[in-house]
A and B are shown apart, each in its own frame.
Chain A
């Protein structure tokens, strides 16, 4: 007989096999859990596209138009356009526009801008000036400005909701 002996003589081997078994069990359950969790993270987005055609620029009224589907304010002054998001930067409610009794023109980011409205949030009381800058309440940032362009195929106004722009952005439609 060799020294190897029976299993009871080798507690280290028993111990090792037991740990191996427990480890395999834990690893199996952990993998199941991780796989279940990962399956809930979407791989494909069925969200609405971020580039949206808004219609002919000439159909927009002078001043402000609210587009509820895009949660967007589109401003027109003659043939100059810009767009400001209506999504409050605090917790994402839709702000409401309130017309100012006395519109004023102010320098915003180095360019003059006619401020006709202010924006108020119904959820936590943030307020914004007409250029989207946060004035009071919990809003941490100004409202986002989005890029506007003119579609090359049919001349419609197009907003890109994934493209933030500075507050000096203006689109001039010829």
Chain B
């Protein structure tokens, strides 16, 4: 045996798209850096498009796209309150491919919020945070990491749309940091730390810029790596645990299965045939190429969709930040509109005592929601078998509760998007908004 074909030595520099043997497929994974985080074999049903919709992979692909499109923007954008808006305008209108790169960045960010949320919904509805039959599984902790990554994704989006320093940015910082300052006792200090003073100025922009370009992406990258490592340690997707539930190959009692004579049947002397049940089909496949092919399709598909969308859709840029005039209505991006709706509706007057909706709806309710999501795996007492299957019967009630919460968020988002007009008054989508002078 030559050194080149020794076990664990893969002959090719990269990997084999079409390995000729199981051995070659396994060696590719063992010896290739890019594949080392994959298992050699995977449970085929785990790869089904209709099980995971590959939403995690799509989220990761969008994060990759955000990093790639972020690099040129890093060279072109100027984080100064005097020049930020003009530099974004240059990126949009002057720089070759600038508007396309910005569109890729912006669309990837929007879709990443959507993909990450849908990934969370999928994991919940399939009970994939539950431990199955494997030993030492800690899927509930990977769920907690995932919730953290969702929060980082949202915070990255928030810090991102502040950077153009247009009207959307300025009033989003105003409202966002005032939510922080509504916390009793420490609120004002937190706001001062966030914006680097008492008014929104240069220190504010540079803080959010540093968070956006290094602190938050680094944190998200670190959690992503840990998230993937945990998936491996927990034995792959929760669905893989279902392999253990498949029937074992077993001998069935002899049965009189065939007759050759009527008489034989009558006398019970027909020849009996020994049979075994159908062997549990081997559902494991090589990671190369079954897993790598689908991962590649997901990633390249995401890149293709974003690239095409980015050349069709223009990125909006509002007027330059004007601390003197609040736009009317001033709306947050779609993924925060439900929060804007909640802070509108939660100011409570109890006698002479008032609780600011900014605190109740902006801090307490979202905080409780995140806390509930975080501890949910420990509240879930459904049997092991519910792990990794869509809408398991034993988890029906909690799935309904979860979907109801999702529905409330969706309804609030739709109301905020389509039914709020000037002064945040309620208008049906088919009603026209009254004419209101832009300045008093």
Contacts and interface: CB of A to CB of B under 8 A. Distances in A.
Nearest to A139: B347
A42 B196 contact: yes
B303 interface: no
Q: Which of A97, A124, A127, A139 has the most CB of B within 10 A?
A: A124
A48 interface: yes
Contacts of A66: 440
B329 interface: yes
Nearest to A46: B197
Contact of A94 (B178, B326, B340): B326
A63 interface: no
A69 interface: yes
B329 to A, nearest CB: 5
Contacts, number: 101
A122 B440 CA distance: 12
Nearest to A67: B324
B345 to A, nearest CB: 7
A123 interface: yes
Contact of B175 (A69, A93, A97): A93
A125 interface: yes
Interface stretch (B98-106, B353-361, B396-404): B353-361
B267 interface: no
A5 interface: no
Contacts of A114: none
A42 B197 contact: yes
Contact of A121 (B355, B362, B423, B440): B423
B198 A47 contact: yes
B187 interface: no
A42 B344 contact: no
Given A90-B347, A91-B343, A125-B424, A41 B356 contact: no
B365 interface: no
B324 A140 contact: no
Contact of B422 (A90, A122, A127): A122
Contacts of B327: 122
A47 B197 contact: yes
A69 B322 CA distance: 10
Q: Give the interface residue-count category, chain A.
A: 20 to 34
A47 B203 contact: no
B178 A122 contact: no
Nearest to B356: A140
Contacts of B171: 93, 123
Contacts of B326: 93-94, 96, 121-123
B318 to A, nearest CB: 14
Contacts of A45: 197-198
A120 B425 CA distance: 10
Contacts of B179: 91
Q: Give the interface residue-count category, chain B.
A: 35 or more
Contact of A92 (B175, B207, B354): B175
Contacts of A121: 326, 423-424
A138 B345 contact: yes
A27 B324 CA distance: 47
A19 interface: no
Q: Which of B174, B207, B355 has the most CB of A within 10 A?
A: B174
B284 interface: no
A125 B193 contact: no
A126 to B, nearest CB: 8
Interface in A134-161: 137-141
Interface string A64-94: 0010110100000000000000000011111
A127 B424 CA distance: 11
B346 interface: yes
A144 B367 CA distance: 30
Interface string B405-434: 000000000000000001111000000000
A137 to B, nearest CB: 7
A40 interface: yes
Nearest to B171: A93
Nearest to A94: B326
Interface in B190-208: 192-193, 196-199, 201, 203, 207
B21 to A, nearest CB: 50
B203 A141 contact: no
Contacts of B424: 121-125, 137
A68 B346 CA distance: 29
Interface string A92-119: 1110111000000000000000000000
B5 interface: no
B322 to A, nearest CB: 9
Nearest to A96: B440
B174 A40 contact: no
Contacts of A125: 344, 423-425
A97 B440 contact: yes
B330 interface: yes
A40 B175 contact: no
Nearest to A41: B193
A163 B343 CA distance: 28
Contacts of A69: 324
A63 B179 CA distance: 33
Interface string B148-179: 00000000000000000000000100110011
B192 A42 contact: yes
Given A91-B343, A138-B343, 8 more contacts: A40-B207, A41-B189, A46-B197, A48-B199, A90-B358, A122-B326, A123-B171, A140-B355
19 contacts: A40-B207, A42-B197, A42-B203, A45-B198, A47-B199, A68-B324, A90-B358, A91-B174, A96-B440, A97-B440, A98-B440, A122-B328, A123-B175, A123-B330, A125-B344, A127-B423, A138-B347, A139-B347, A140-B357
